[in-house]
Chains A and B, each alone.
Chain A
Amino acid sequence: MAKLKSLGELDALRKSITGKRDPKKTVITVCNGTGCQAHGCKTVTAAFQKELKKQKLESKVDIRATGCHGFCERGPLVVIKPKNIFYQRVRVKDVPEIISETVGKGNVIERMLYTDRATNKKITYEHDVPFYKLQKRIVFGNNGLIDPTSIDDYLAVGGYAGLAKALKMTPDAIIDEIKKAGLRGRGGGGFPTGNKWESTRKAPGKTKYVICNADEGDPGAYMDRSLVEGNPHSVLEGMIIGAYAIGSHEGYIYVRNEYPLAVRNIKTAIEQAESYGLLGKNIMGSGFNFTIKVQRGGGAFICGESTALMASLEGRVGEPRAKYVHTSEQGLWGKPTNLNNVETWANVPLIINNGSDWFSKTGTKNSKGTKIFSLVGNISNTGLVEVPMGITLREIIYDLGGGIPKGRKFKAVQTGGPSGGVIPESMLDLPVDFDELTKVGSMMGSGGMIVMDDKTCMVNIASYFVTFLEGESCGKCLPCREGLLQMKQILTRITEGKGKNSDIQLLEELSATLVDASLCALGSQASNPVMSTLRHFRDEYIAHIKDKKCPAGVCKIGAAK
């Protein structure tokens, strides 16, 4: 492929790609995200290829292994386009029938359709499935349409048009647009993205860096992985636009090594973008140079923290530092650095392409746009959902998530990862946005949403998170290192039935110290799981301590005696 030398050449290329594609042609898309891979989608994809060959339909039907569709619960997922017939839990043995019946004769096979829980009716088309219907998939929607290893697929759905538009704008105009859109950091901080870009742009110094934080460490959150795996070019496009606005020529993507497919796909995407002249020197003849390197993490949760991530990028131990001086002034190698999360970057091309007004129409007063949540735990429809900010927790859990399985009762939902908090049933009508979640003692975090039923012990959950954080504390500052250890010991003895009456007060005191004195957010937010469970489920602590009983029957109090 010859490199694109002008913005006009991009349009011509796009036209030639779409011109070769017949929108009426049958395309069988098979979700190949990690969730579906665990369900065995790879063998299903291979079976489709084999069967098409056998029935001599290769030229008439395309197979596309796409990124994550989000409905992991029902995988392997197969969608047959252009009609969007939706089959779920597809097995290898179903493949010949799909080809001969559905593709060949146009008959729908009832057995593989999704059954709506509420009405008990079979649903034929993907867009009618409640799980999808109630979402607003602006960032995540293309995942199901494209093969993440094909840049042409991304171009066919309008990819890199945002970049072309941005390169015609001044950097200040781009920053203004992002500010007006009201985009806030999707990694958890919720800091206004435009302001961050502006301070990095204004910071003195010639060399500047941009970083994509794909070190998604929150257990139970995997939207970033699905974006990097399923639509890597959207992340790259956002980064290139950001780099141009900030005045940076070098970028890094720091990605978890536990996500092998994401590492592979982002590397392929970078090579493709380079070969098309969308990355590298003189991008599309604009005179702007930008390169991106990928670095894998080493399995340390703390490296999701920006300064720890940068230390790790420099080849050092991933310990954070105090942020008296912001990373936008002095970050990687002491140079001004702008770090954003995967989902934030993926929002950027959409804003530039469609305008800030379009973007800010969705959402609440201070939280604009959509957010992708991973809905996991004791929930019927596990998966990734992209919803407008301001939707209530009840809508997410019951309308999208299908409620609690096995006829159990809802107890709490935990948001914000290990540093977040639990939210009880009485607060389910809370509109979900950055500020509302913080008000009730939890936080948005990166978007993990773990639903818990009445068989869950809240003291055990607090103990789980504190144990997690204690293990992941880097040990640099004392309040976090020792404070979490003490909290873990106290919580462990409560769950073993050896709790003392003074333990609750001790936990509260330790929590306050951690909030005040920790170096970074890992420590200062570590008390959230304890304080929020204490606030909403104090009875359970008392039952463990006074009555030596675990009301949910989780803690092995009897065994510990």
Chain B
Amino acid sequence: MSPKEQKAKVKQVLEKHRRDKSLLVDILQDIQAEIGYLPKDALQQTNQALGIPLSRVYSVATFFKAFSLTPRGRHLINVCMGTACHVRGAVKVLEKIEHELKIKKGATTKDLKFTLETVNCVGACALGPMVIIGEDYHGEMTPEGVVSVLKQYN
């Protein structure tokens, strides 16, 4: 995305929310959905448009787990670490993915293919351990099973 395109996208989001500063969390969420992460320029554009200090935009952007200040991979992997998934072996599934992709949780693969995150619960506990890739829910994951699931993505 060119800087110009990015600026237009951010502007669009800001207009949609009528530059309402109380909607900062929503605004950042939409910007991230458009761009994939929250670049510095976008944060600056937001703070200027809303008339609030950059420090406040930055603090909100770093407080909430949903936001990323660095580019993320094409496929976002979320390993559910909810209690139900935990007691069914989610840790082993996460460790296997970390091993397989050679990254730790929170990181992105060098080829920008995958970003690996954890989530506290998606409420699909019957199928734990759950791994969510993009919008696909993969249930009853095992360390062996997750490897073949990863292969479905390119």
Contacts and interface: CB of A to CB of B under 8 A. Distances in A.
**Most-contacted residue by chain A among B119, B126, B138 (CB, 10 A):** B126
B78 to A, nearest CB: 8
Interface residues of B, number: 40
B63 A298 contact: yes
B120 A219 contact: yes
Contacts of A39: 127, 139
Given A219-B83, A315-B25, A72 B125 contact: yes
A326 B40 CA distance: 38
Nearest to A332: B22
Nearest to B139: A38
Nearest to B84: A376
Interface in B111-154: 119-128, 130, 135, 137-139
A219 B121 contact: yes
Interface string A285-301: 00000000001111111
Given A296-B29, A301-B120, A318-B64, A73 B87 contact: no
B26 A35 contact: no
B86 interface: yes
A465 B86 CA distance: 10
Nearest to A298: B64
A561 interface: no
A38 B124 contact: yes
B8 interface: no
Nearest to B61: A298
Contacts of A376: 83-84, 125-126, 128
Given A38-B130, A315-B24, A219 B66 contact: no
B126 A37 contact: no
A298 B139 contact: no
B65 A298 contact: yes
B29 A220 contact: no
A222 B125 contact: yes
Nearest to B86: A464
A225 B123 contact: yes
Nearest to B24: A315
Interface in B10-33: 21-26, 28-29
A194 B128 CA distance: 38
A523 interface: no
Q: Chain A interface residue count: which class?
A: 35 or more
A316 B55 CA distance: 11
A537 interface: no
B125 A296 contact: no
A305 to B, nearest CB: 14
A219 B63 contact: no
Contact of A300 (B64, B127, B128, B137): B64
Interface in A351-402: 374, 376-378, 382-383
Interface in A63-78: 72-73, 75
B13 to A, nearest CB: 13
B80 to A, nearest CB: 8
A35 B87 contact: no
B126 A298 contact: no
Interface in A424-468: 448, 450, 452, 456, 461, 464-465, 468
Interface of A: 34-35, 37-39, 72-73, 75, 216-222, 225-226, 257-260, 295-301, 312-318, 374, 376-378, 382-383, 414, 418, 448, 450, 452, 456, 461, 464-465, 468, 472, 474
In the A-B complex, the 3 residue pairs with the closest CB atoms: A298-B64, A222-B123, A219-B82
Given A318-B63, A377-B87, 11 more contacts: A217-B121, A221-B121, A257-B66, A295-B25, A296-B25, A296-B29, A315-B22, A315-B24, A376-B83, A376-B126, A383-B126
Interface of B: 21-26, 28-29, 52, 56, 59-60, 63-67, 81-88, 119-128, 130, 135, 137-139
